[in-house]
A and B are shown apart, each in its own frame.
Chain A
Amino acid sequence: MNKVYLDYQSSTPVLPEVLEAMLPWFRDYYGNASALHELGIRSKKALTRAREQFATAIHAAEPEEIIFTSCGTEANNLGVKGSAYALQSKGKHIILSTAEHPSVENSVAFLEKQGFTATRVPVDRQGRIDPAAIEAAITPETILIATHYANHDIGTIQPIELIGEIAERHKIQFFVDAAFSAGWLPIDVTRLRTGLISLSPHRFYGPKGVGVLYKNRKARLLSIISGGIQEGNRRSGTENVPAIVGAGLAMEIAETEREKRVAHVSALQKRLWEGLSAHIPYICLNGPLPGDGRHPCNLNISTEFIEGEGQLLLCNAAGIAVASGSSCSSKNLKASPVLSAIGQALTLMQGNLIFSLGKDNTEEEIDYVISSFTKIVERLRGMSPVWDAFQKGQVQSVIAPAK
């Protein structure tokens, strides 16, 4: 086995046909989409085509409801901050969950420093948001409910439709971070009743450097970047035409192939979890079991008595690309906030590893990962003083405590 990439949630390769479609827009058709000459109008038409591709994929009423940004993080910043600024005359209270992506959580934290207030609704042990808790947090001051569709860390799929109903009933603007869901989970903005939803094309075989924010006509939004009147005055700055063209095509293909891709990765996700849990004692899954409640690509596990960065490095040495939420793997030395939000034990937060699957992974690859990872765990446990202490009965397992 040569290389196994299991970090598709952090990024995917660009499809060959998507890259082909992008190339002329670098090379031949380089006009600024705001320009009034032939090359400019060509670019503008290309943007319109991509807008239509996204609108069709998510059942938006009109292509003009699609706003292009530079990435998913910018789309989330625009969705959260842009809503807050547009609605601040009505109130200053925002509701979100404790398990949001940093681009949502930190946008709200930024707004709090400017006088906005926020209620962070807790998630349960599986990472699920209780819609009733969202409703209970609503005050007359509430202007925005901001939450995610599928969790970026542990894959939990949220009851978005139910939260959307609540938002609609209370006439509160509803922003959904679907950066980890688009391309994999069905998005129908009419059913989700969301005013705003963000998408990230490089997670479904589109290019990096482009993000998407859907904005329902009724949703209020203020631009957070000052400049020209691009994107209907919602996002200033010259549009990245090649990336947007690629993103539109990637979205179209993702929708066409979605069921096939999902069936494929779901089977591998189940195979991987069943293989790992059969071969390795004292490991646990973070988030719901593979099935309807979990993003089909994501498998987030904690292995007891060993630390995550060491696991990641040994996986890398075995040619396996994965991610970890342990504090040692993060630049700020803080363990995953989502694992903290679900109340995971501190030691299990350290033993964390995230596998994320893509459409091109194979059963052979998964079997190689299962056998390699089993050896990696044995090796690291052989070095671990905590494993020693457990063997001698000096410490208990958190996953399987003795009676």
Chain B
Amino acid sequence: MAEEYSLYNPTVMDHFLNPRNMGDLEDADGIGEVGAAACGDIMKISLKIGNDGRISDARFKTFGCGSAIASSSMATELVKGKTIEEAMQLSNKNVVDALGGLPPVKIHCSVLAEEAIKAALDDYLKRHPEMAARVAAAKAQKQPNE
């Protein structure tokens, strides 16, 4: 019944009603905040990143609709345990797919989640130039093969 008569699919509803990783991180290594309340969505993502360059924890806080909350919940789930390089590759489509789809008018929520993750990673790399150099070097090495 919940499936038939709800605005979103059961996965989206589950992430909205039981959001994963909601909150802030004490001593976050990277924080990204994107959006504007006037437009209806603000997402804030906090990341904990180890010396190995791996995301050990992620949290979100979101002002927004059901799909914005579900997208940020899912995005934090998707980047936990990932390396910075892997998390950089996260696309809004990954978020949409993991959520089992979003209504067309709500796709921008997943874009915002991607942007919030990237903003948090950028914040981390700004604070850690040595890691930024490592990521850039790895990228440069990888590109000729592509």
Interface centre among B38, B40, B61 (most CB of A within 10 A): B40
In the complex, how many angstroms separate the beta carbon of B127 from the nearest chain A beta carbon?
A: 20
Residue pair A329, B69 in contact (C-beta under 8 Å): no
Residue pair A306, B40 in contact (C-beta under 8 Å): no
A314 to B8, CA, bound (A): 13
Residue pair A328, B41 in contact (C-beta under 8 Å): yes
A-B CB pair tally, cutoff 8 Å: 70
Residue pair A383, B62 in contact (C-beta under 8 Å): yes
Residues of B within 8 A of A335 (CB): 40
Q: Specify which of A328, A346, A387 is in contact with B38 (CB 8 Å cutoff).
A: A346
| Shortest Cβ distance from A317 into B: residue | B17
Residues of A within 8 A of B64 (CB): 307, 309-310, 328
| Shortest Cβ distance from B105 into A: residue | A333
Which of chain A's residues 379-395 have a Cβ closer than 8 Å to chain B? 382-388
Q: Specify which of A316, A329, A384, A385 is in contact with B65 (CB 8 Å cutoff).
A: A329
Residue pair A385, B61 in contact (C-beta under 8 Å): yes
Residue B48 interfacial (CB < 8 Å): no
Which of chain B's residues 9-46 have a Cβ closer than 8 Å to chain A? 16-17, 19, 22, 24, 33, 37-44
| Shortest Cβ distance from B60 into A: residue | A383
Residue pair A310, B44 in contact (C-beta under 8 Å): no
| Shortest Cβ distance from B19 into A: residue | A383
| A307-B41, A331-B105, A333-B105 given; A385·B33 CB < 8 A | yes
A307 to B43, CA, bound (A): 12
Residues of A within 8 A of B42 (CB): 384-386
Which of chain B's residues 64-93 have a Cβ closer than 8 Å to chain A? 64-66, 68-69
Interface centre among B38, B39, B63 (most CB of A within 10 A): B63
Interface residues as binary, A311-344 with B (CB distance below 8 Å gives 1, 0 otherwise): 0011011000000001111010101000000000
Residues of B within 8 A of A309 (CB): 64-66
Residue pair B66, A313 in contact (C-beta under 8 Å): yes
Residue pair B7, A313 in contact (C-beta under 8 Å): yes
Residue pair B24, A388 in contact (C-beta under 8 Å): yes
Residue pair B40, A327 in contact (C-beta under 8 Å): yes
Residue A302 interfacial (CB < 8 Å): no
| Shortest Cβ distance from A308 into B: residue | B65
Which of chain A's residues 352-403 have a Cβ closer than 8 Å to chain B? 382-388
Residue A98 interfacial (CB < 8 Å): no
Residue pair B61, A388 in contact (C-beta under 8 Å): yes
Residue A236 interfacial (CB < 8 Å): no
Residues of A within 8 A of B105 (CB): 331, 333
In the complex, how many angstroms separate the beta carbon of B15 from the nearest chain A beta carbon?
A: 12
In the complex, how many angstroms separate the beta carbon of A347 from the nearest chain B beta carbon?
A: 4
Residue pair B63, A385 in contact (C-beta under 8 Å): yes
Residues of B within 8 A of A386 (CB): 37, 42, 63
Residues of B within 8 A of A317 (CB): 17
A259 to B108, CA, bound (A): 48
- Tell me the B residues contacting A by CB distance below 8 Å: 6-7, 16-17, 19, 22, 24, 33, 37-44, 61-66, 68-69, 105
Q: Return 15 A-B CB contacts under 8 Å, by A number.
A: A307-B63, A308-B65, A310-B16, A313-B7, A314-B17, A328-B41, A335-B40, A346-B37, A350-B40, A383-B63, A383-B69, A384-B62, A384-B63, A386-B37, A386-B42
Known contacts A307-B41, A382-B22; 4 additional CB pairs below 8 A are A306-B63, A309-B65, A310-B16, A384-B62
A-B complex: 9 closest residue pairs judged by Cβ atoms: A328-B65, A346-B38, A309-B65, A385-B44, A385-B61, A347-B37, A384-B63, A313-B66, A328-B40
